[in-house]
Amino acid sequence: MRRKGLASMAVQTSTDTPLRLGPAVGLSCRECGERFDLGPIFACASCFGPLEAAYELPEGDPEALRKAIEAGPANIWRYAPLLPVPADVAERPNLNPGFTKLVKADNLARELGVTGGLYVKDDSGNPTHSFKDRVVAIAVEAARAFGFTTLSCSSTGNLAGAVGAAAARAGLRSCVFIPHDLEQGKVVMAAVYGGELVGIEGTYDDVNRFCSELIGDPLGEGWGFVNVNLRPYYAEGSKTLAYEICEQLGWRLPDQIVIPIASGSQLTKIDKGLQELIRLGLVEDRPYKIFGAQALGCSPVAAAFKAGHDVVRPVKPDTIAKSLAIGNPADGPYVLDIARRTGGAVEDVTDEEVVDAIKLLARTEGIFAETAGGVTVGVTRKLIENGVLDPSLTTVVLNTGDGLKTLDAVAPTTGPSATIRPSLDAFRAAGLAG
């Protein structure tokens, strides 16, 4: 039944106009390697493995490619020659995300005992204040290529806002689906762009299952679900984090990188991006380690890593880090492979440690991270304390969203230092005079 739905979706959106998705030449199954034409499909018809974009990347002088990238726009479209997008993508209506700050976090490094250089890749500077703007920007171009008129998604919050904003900018209708109990800030941000926002009673995994059913139904005709039938293109947006980090480090690989895990796609695509840069000769080929970070209340990948398992057992999420609350992460097994291949690890932290890490990052570097950023900082600290992450090496930690979206996580323990009468005597009595 599922395969029939996928096939009919491809037929419904067929066009006589040649697809223009840059260097992308097809889709490849990550399990069996079978190749497929570019289209709105996400699963292999032979083994039902996940599909991803396959490329003919530019060959030739790495220095010339490096200079061309550096001369490009200050957003992800500087990397258009490496992405499944048309060559004129920078001229089309979109939100132009990316090229966010790589902050040298010396104050945080001192707190954690890092001597080799610590950086925070702060993606809260994107248009809707999360890394999701990157992946949605790529998905929008695929949606246009396939003739979709409605942009949709299942979301834990950030993606809903990114889809709503990107669709509004592109002139597309949007209809997004979220768990009914998301943080209010994310609900408002997703709704403000004027598209349809639908709460589903249940967890994110329930929402995702519903969207998969909708794709195979006539009701879903003409709909591009960015993280389902457009997933092979959407996921490629995360590669731009790898590209930017290396370029901002002076075209060199980080020694260690700590990445939050929701579905696991971001981590796997960052690794893919690093491998592409090596293959193209844009960075020196040398070892690097990738670490995954989860909240204890939704840590199926960390549990599998610690147990030495290759299979990730689904869990029911129970954590304040709702943007990471995916109990059945699609890319979990691939995360395990990458962590083991690179000599990294997958670790988790409690909700209390997440809140403490949010405050630590804010206090030391002036970066207010959402709960996912608290997870990565908290895991980084735990990995150092446990002797797993080497503090003498260059380390990059990802903050994927803005703390203003998850105020509820820190509000109970954060507020005024004192409330006083409007007088100097009251100020002195409060012990705040310095």
pLDDT interval class at 135 (50, 70, 90): very high
* Separation of alpha carbons 351 and 156, rounded Å: 17
Radius of gyration of the chain (CA): 22
Residues 352-366 pLDDT 10s: 999 999 999 999 999
Q: What is the pLDDT of residue 61?
A: 93
The CA angle 341-342-347, to the nearest 5 degrees, is 95
Q: What is the pLDDT of residue 172?
A: 96
- Does the pLDDT of residue 262 top 90, yes or no? yes
For residue 391, what are the contacts with CB-CB under 8 A and spacing of at least 6? 112, 113, 114, 115, 116, 384
* Separation of alpha carbons 214 and 208, rounded Å: 10
Q: What is the pLDDT of residue 256?
A: 98
Average pLDDT for 212-224 = 89
Distances (CA, A) of 112 to 14, 115, 136, 379: 54, 9, 34, 11
**How many percent of the chain have pLDDT more than 70?**
96
Q: What is the pLDDT of residue 8?
A: 35
Average pLDDT for 225-233 = 94
* Separation of alpha carbons 105 and 379, rounded Å: 16
| Cβ atoms of residues 85 and 134 within 8 Å | no
Q: What is the pLDDT of residue 363?
A: 98
| Cβ atoms of residues 44 and 34 within 8 Å | yes
Q: What is the pLDDT of residue 55?
A: 95
Residue with tokens 């599998």: 304
Residues 9-45 pLDDT 10s: 433 344 455 687 999 999 999 999 999 999 999 999 9
Residues 233-249 pLDDT 10s: 999 999 999 999 999 99
Average pLDDT for 312-321 = 96
Report the relative pairing of strands 223-225 and 196-200 from DSSP bridges: unpaired
Name the nearest CA neighbour of 256 among 149, 116, 72, 150.
Answer: 116
Instruction: Say how far residue 194 (Cα) sits from the centre of its chain.
Output: 24
| Cβ atoms of residues 253 and 393 within 8 Å | no
DSSP-derived letter for residue 401 is B
Q: What is the pLDDT of residue 18?
A: 62
The helix/strand/coil state of 269 is helix
